[in-house]
Amino acid sequence: MASAFEYAPAPESRSIVDIAPSYGLFIDGEFTEAADGKVFKTVSPATEEVLSEVAQAGEADVDRAVAAARKAFEKWSALPGSERAKYLFRIARIIQERSRELAVLETLDNGKPIKETRDADLPLVAAHFFYYAGWADKLEHAGFGANPRPLGVAGQVIPWNFPLLMLAWKIAPALATGNTVVLKPAETTPLTALFFADVCRQAGLPKGVVNILPGYGDTGAALVAHPDVNKVAFTGSTAVGKEIARTVAGSRKKLTLELGGKGANIVFDDAPIDQAVEGIVNGIFFNQGQVCCAGSRLLVQESIQDELLDSLKRRLSTLRLGDPLDKNTDIGAINSEEQLARITRLVEQGEAEGAERWSPACEIPSAGYWFAPTLFTNVTQAHTVARDEIFGPVLSVLTFRTPDEAVAKANNTPYGLSAGIWTEKGSRILAVANKLRAGVVWSNTFNKFDPTSPFGGYKESGFGREGGRHGLEAYLDV
């Protein structure tokens, strides 16, 4: 927005975090090169600058890491819960103490705004470790029987949209329940996971309890298929999730999948309009829309469509896109060239199919991967942009006339991860929420997370729950 009041740039200093020119794999408490010496580069999506060179784990490295985790499991699982809790509390406190470093590193590697890493990601990461630390000595009271046992070695594969938060969601409950882990971060965002390896050392965590193996899909596939892995946890795309389900089928491995989504955000005509607009913005433009539970389908009651869209467009015009390290930035960079290409392709398809595309006037930086916040109106259920997960800052707007129609449209998707309801009428919230087939239903808010609250999907959005008491079950023999 052109204004007399232009904010001066307020960049967070990147000098508060040291990025080494190269990183190894973290196996059995030590950083080590890959057996075949392979490396790959990780870049800053906002500038395309190479941040570091990272060892790429191959099958031999997966073998080593799983063996280290297996060995560590004997002692780790035998520790009293209160002892494991001490380590987890220590990790949580170190994360809090080093949260500025971690926030800057995450922003550099991922491209998301520092505002989000600082105010959303890092506090939640610490909260997850604190929360599961609290459970470690109370597992017999979790409702899974008198003496629930850990499963063994957990092979965990996490995505690039919330690198450190997904790591926390995976590692905290696994360690609290007495499992040891081998974790593969995404190839575009390995740095905070490697930083976390250092946090584990600082906390004095026994060797081999946490192992970090950066790499591409083949590394993840080797980990998932490894015969000595007892539990597989994956967050990522539905396509890869299906492949993993096939790999694991017939083995005795336990599996949880947290996959894609196409969340419906339903706005009724009696909604608090200004707050609904904020919720819609937060639902789809948080983390550039690269959120599996993003509210990417807006279902508006026809009677308030014009009013709501006017408000929404006006609000989008105030979003600030640019340098993710600037504390005033609302929209950062898309994580990778590949993802940018996917978003671009789907948006072009949306236009070709006749949906009406709108973006606010905003300057796009010359280097890096960027995509302006985008609205599609005149969208119907038959449009690709209403069905496929775009995983970018693209909102499809549909309308409805009655609550039944809203529910029918919201549920008419292969996914079922999240949904939102906006109305001032309490009875309608309850009635509609009960009919929505989604793992999370937010009312008069969106994208709120808390370690005490379970998260997971229906249908092609996966199965199993992370977070809360339910999140323990996936790591226990019950």
Partner 1 sequence: MPTTAPNAAHALADVTASDGTLRRFLHGLPGVDAVGLEARAASLGTRSIKTTAKAYAIDLAISMVDLTTLEGADTPGKVRALGAKAVHPDPTDRTTPSTAAVCVYPDMVATAKAAVAGSSVKVASVATAFPAGRVPLTVKLADVREAVAAGADEIDMVIDRGAFLAGHFMKVYDEIVAVREACGTEARLKVIFETGELSTYDNIRRASWLGMLAGADFIKTSTGKVAVNATPANTLLMLEAVRDFRAQTGIQVGVKPAGGIRTSKDAIKFLVLVNETVGEDWLDNHWFRFGASSLLNDLLMQRQKLATGRYSGPDYVTVD
Active centre residues (catalytic): 258, 292
Of the candidate spans 134-142, 176-184, 269-277, 454-462, the one that interacts with partner 1 by CB under 8 A turns out to be 269-277
One of 84, 115, 170, 253 touching partner 1 (CB under 8 A): 115
Near partner 1 by CB under 8 A: residue from 48, 49, 83, 119: 119
- The size of the chain, in residues, is 478
Residue position matching structure tokens 């809203």? 406
- CA pair distance 77, 212, nearest whole angstrom: 19
Least distance from partner 1 to the Cβ atom of residue 318, Å:
5
Q: What is the DSSP letter of 121?
A: I
318 binds partner 1 (CB under 8 A): yes
Identify which of residues 277 and 417 has a Cβ nearer to partner 1 in the complex.
Answer: 277
- Residue owning tokens 């560590």: 72
6 in contact with partner 1 (CB under 8 A): yes
Residue whose entry in the numeric block shows the structure tokens 């196409």: 262
Judged by CB under 8 A, the chain residues 411 through 430 that form the site for partner 1 are 424
Nearest residue (CB) to partner 1, 245 versus 273: 273
CA 252 to chain centre: 27
Pick one of 36, 48, 140, 274: the residue that binds partner 1 (CB under 8 A).
274
User: Which residues in 401-467 belong to E strands, given as ranges?
Assistant: 418-422, 440-443, 462-463
Rounded least distance, CB 439 to partner 1, Å: 22
What are the tokens at 36?
């075949």
Quickly tell me which residue has 């299906």 as its tokens. 242
The region of 100-108, 158-166, 268-276, 458-466 touching partner 1 under the rule CB under 8 A is 268-276
d(CA 200, CA 70): 18
Amino acid found at 53 = E
Q: Give how far Cα 223 sits from Cα of 71, 213, 333, Å.
A: 17, 9, 30
Smallest separation, CB 107 to partner 1 (Å): 14
56 neighbors 214 (Cβ within 8 angstroms) = yes
> Of 259 and 321, which has the nearer Cβ to partner 1?
321
Smallest gap from residue 71 Cβ to partner 1 (A) = 46
* Among positions 241, 279, 283, 295, the unique one binding partner 1 when judged by CB under 8 A: 279
**Residue (149 or 313) nearer to partner 1, CB:** 313
User: Is 112 near partner 1 (CB under 8 A)?
Assistant: no
Q: Identify which of residues 4 and 249 has a Cβ nearer to partner 1 in the complex.
A: 4
> To 5 degrees, how large is the angle CA 57–CA 62–CA 68?
125
Q: How far apart are CA 161 and CA 353, in angstroms?
A: 28
Binding segment (CB under 8 A) for partner 1, from list 43-51, 128-136, 189-197, 275-283: 275-283
Residue holding tokens 């949880």? 256
Q: Which residues bind partner 1 (CB under 8 A)?
A: 1-10, 115, 119, 270-275, 278-279, 310, 318, 327-328, 424, 444-445
